[in-house]
Structure 1
Amino acid sequence: MSSTLERRVVTLGGLRVGDGPAVVIRNRVSLRSSGVPQRRLGEGEAGHRFAEGALVEPASAADLPAIAARAAGVIVGASWTRDFPLVREAAATGLPIVVERRPGASLEEWLGVADYCAAQGNDRVILCETGLDLALLQRARAASGRPVIVDLSENVALAGAAVAAGADGLIVGAESAAQDGSDVGAGDGAHDGSPVEASAALEAAALIGTLVRAETPATLGECRQAIDRVDAALATLLERRVEIAGIVQTLKPVGGFAGRDPEREQALVARMARRAPRLGEERLAAIMNAVIEAGLHLAEEG
């Protein structure tokens, strides 16, 4: 088992996986059907089975030249992690390798496949949990230092839980390109077939990820994106606070501005200052006064 604890970052297409916000991957394609390898495909034919920049699982070694030329990364599928000749050839493409966990595989076996890829000279390895064992995800991330993503193709409702558990990325809407031979993907590469699922995963990555993942943006653009994520989380929390405060108004003997409790508000600000010492009580008091007044005005309007 790898004992390297230093956090590694792998660039997958235009995404930095393992550093900063959790990413959402919507262009995961398999050239297999139901885990059974299809007939061997030539380089040209395989290339037409997926959009450029996709994350692709080969059906056989014959697909690898097209994948190397067009894909963002290669998937070592859960069903063939023990096919070491194919794993070795996949690693030899030089593309980032996403190692899925075989059902029932131990942490040691899972990390062993990743280390095998690294031993072939390709250390751009991302681990992928497919069984939704979020505790194992945490252990893999801590033990290996490698990025760990989660395939949520079967249950995108767990997006929030996966991000909270430390997932560096989410895969949504995986497809099999071997079903009908048609091109997969168009436009922005999002071909999950369900914008709602992709939106749910993006929300989880933005909102929950903001609370649990530290970010160190290095450019103005990255800073603005990080601020946008924090602002989205703030807006969501403020809306929820206003909703609860509105309920409180109906339960108080005296509602509205007359029912304000200065001692409770002061205690609230003091508790917040312990979580945000750089802001301090004075600044937080002004912020929370504005929040409380906005909620009271909204309650009166309703």
Structure 2
Amino acid sequence: MSSTLERRSVAVGDLLVGEGPAVVIGGRVNLRAYHGQVDAYEALGEHATLVEPYSAADLPAIASRADAVVVGSSWTRDIPLVRAAAGLGLPVVVERRASASMEEWLELAGYCADAGDGRVLLCEGGRLDLGLMRAARAASGRPVLADVSSDVGLSAAAVAAGADGLVVDAAGAGGTGARLGTFTGAKAVELSKGGALEFVSAGAESRAEPAQSPAGASALRVAEEAVTVVGALLRPEAPATLPECRQAIDRVDAALATLLERRAALAGIVQRIKPVGGFAGRDFARERALVARMALRAPSLGEARLAPIMNAVIEAGLHLAEERSAR
């Protein structure tokens, strides 16, 4: 397969996965955990995002209540169930079996595309092989998800490796197993005093779902930070509308704020180490060299525009260091 295939995008509910910003998809429901002992309609409620069936009996409920169906890694060789799931008319999320090669994974994805309407996403889960995930994304042109439920700390690495979306399972994150919702963009996720999740949007629409445990909320925060900060640094975007432009700017601003906070903390350490700290200890030759190096990364701004920006950043850090030392 060619690595130069034009990237295809797949809509999962309200989210477009594969182009633009990376997204967080919360609320995967695994009906296999119930071993067929619970009615699928009851387990899914009014709506679910990603759902993995236990048997063909679950498929009617998934077709009517889910945004996408998951072909789980534990049953990718159950071809009749794979064919039936792919034929529901929903987007199909194809997980890689732990022992499967990239070629086997992509072959199964192609089979699901042929059995369905072509809307297929790849998903790497379990012990993530991020290098293989990146290679599969390039070779197939299909959107790729990383299920970070078992180790949400890998969220940033997954986005850096090219994941178009992160899947966070409420149960895997220590939650109740209820749906967490789907969201994208620079968004704060807070735990209210009553225990309900509150989504504070910085542009994109969100869909809040029932209250979750603090562990589930924490996992969402980690994943959302990864898609916002790492995504703003590494994912190319071409917004076409004013709201999309503003959302992209929000993501970049969030990344800038995070980096500025880190820079201020490092500057404070420098002030404690220097023989002469504070404004008296400024090294203007080093600052000019810093601006020159930055201009290589930001040639459209150039040294003349970057110099006052960095002077303001440096002075803000020095003021902060002096305030803290005076306490």
Q: TM-score, normalised by structure 2?
A: 0.84
Runs of at least 5 residues in structure 1 that lack an aligned partner in the other structure: 177-181
Would the alpha carbon gap of residues 64 and 246 (structure 1) be closer, same or farther in structure 2, given more than 3 Å must change? same
2:28/2:48 contact within 8 Å kept: no
2:4/2:138 contact within 8 Å kept: no
Question: In structure 2, how many angstroms separate the alpha carbons of the residues matched to 1:190 and 1:122?
Answer: 32
Instruction: Tell me the amino acid that sits aligned with residue 93 of structure 1.
Output: L
RMSD of the TM alignment (CA)?
A: 2.1
Question: In structure 2, how many angstroms separate the alpha carbons of the residues matched to 1:94 and 1:69?
Answer: 10
Q: How does 1:159-170 map to 2 (within 5 A)?
A: 159-170=155-166
2:131 corresponds to 1:135 = yes
Instruction: Tell me the amino acid that sits aligned with residue 40 of structure 2.
Output: A
Match for 1:274 among 278, 292, 296? 296
Question: In structure 2, how many angstroms separate the alpha carbons of the residues matched to 1:273 and 1:252?
Answer: 27
Aligned match of 1:46: 40
Greater length-normalized contact order (CA 8 Å, ≥ 6 residues apart): 1
Match for 1:284 among 289, 294, 306? 306
Q: How does 1:45-124 map to 2 (within 5 A)?
A: 45-51=39-45, 52-124=47-119
Question: In structure 1, how many angstroms separate the alpha carbons of the residues matched to 2:211 and 2:76?
Answer: 26
Question: Tell me, what secondary structure is at the counterpart of 1:209?
Answer: helix
* Offset, 1:58: 0.9
Offset from partner CA, 1:3-33 (integer Å, 9 cap, x none): 7721010110111111111111111001112
1:217/1:223 contact within 8 Å kept: yes
2:208 corresponds to 1:188 = yes
Would the alpha carbon gap of residues 230 and 190 (structure 1) be closer, same or farther in structure 2, given more than 3 Å must change? farther
Instruction: Tell me the amino acid that sits aligned with residue 241 of structure 1.
Output: R
1:2/1:115 contact within 8 Å kept: no
Instruction: Tell me the amino acid that sits aligned with residue 125 of structure 1.
Output: V
Higher share of residues assigned strand: 2
Question: Tell me, what secondary structure is at the counterpart of 1:98?
Answer: strand
Question: In structure 1, how many angstroms separate the alpha carbons of the residues matched to 2:286 and 2:85?
Answer: 61
Aligned match of 1:151: 147
Question: Tell me, what secondary structure is at the counterpart of 1:291?
Answer: helix
Aligned match of 1:217: 239
* Offset, 1:253: 2.4
* Offset, 1:54: 1.9
Which range moves more in the overlay, 188-197 or 13-22?
188-197
Would the alpha carbon gap of residues 263 and 243 (structure 1) be closer, same or farther in structure 2, given more than 3 Å must change? same
2:23 corresponds to 1:28 = no
Instruction: Tell me the amino acid that sits aligned with residue 13 of structure 2.
Output: G
Question: In structure 2, how many angstroms separate the alpha carbons of the residues matched to 1:192 and 1:84?
Answer: 35
Would the alpha carbon gap of residues 188 and 145 (structure 1) be closer, same or farther in structure 2, given more than 3 Å must change? same
The count of residues paired between Structure 1 and Structure 2 equals 291
Q: TM-score, normalised by structure 1?
A: 0.90
Question: In structure 1, how many angstroms separate the alpha carbons of the residues matched to 2:171 and 2:212?
Answer: 7
* Offset, 1:121: 4.0
Would the alpha carbon gap of residues 191 and 146 (structure 1) be closer, same or farther in structure 2, given more than 3 Å must change? farther
Which range moves more in the overlay, 244-253 or 270-279?
244-253
Instruction: Tell me the amino acid that sits aligned with residue 160 of structure 2.
Output: A
